[in-house]
Amino acid sequence: MTETPATTQATSERGPLGLDPQLLKILACPDTHHSPLTVDEEAGELLCTTCDRAFPVRDGIPVLLLDEARHRNG
């Protein structure tokens, strides 16, 4: 399979964890405080800046379900 200029450009515009940088700017914690999320590339997670939940990113798709998140404080 050969890459066309369009697919090469789309691949190069991906940010951390394969997510679109524009998407990362608007993602927020699904809890009531809706705080911004930061990226933990090593763990493959998005982190809430308020409640310290870690949301997994699976196959480039953020899983922003409270039941799927883990608390990083223990």
Pairs from 26-29 (Cβ < 8 Å, separation ≥ 24): 27/62, 27/64, 29/53, 29/55, 29/64
CATH code for the domain defined by 5-71: 2.20.25.10
Contact of 46 with 38, CB cutoff 8 Å: yes
Write the pLDDT tens digit of every residue in 14-26: 889 999 999 999 9
Every domain of the chain and the residues it spans: 5-71
**pLDDT tens column, 37-58:** 999 999 999 999 999 999 999 9
**DSSP β-ladder status, 45-48 and 61-62:** unpaired
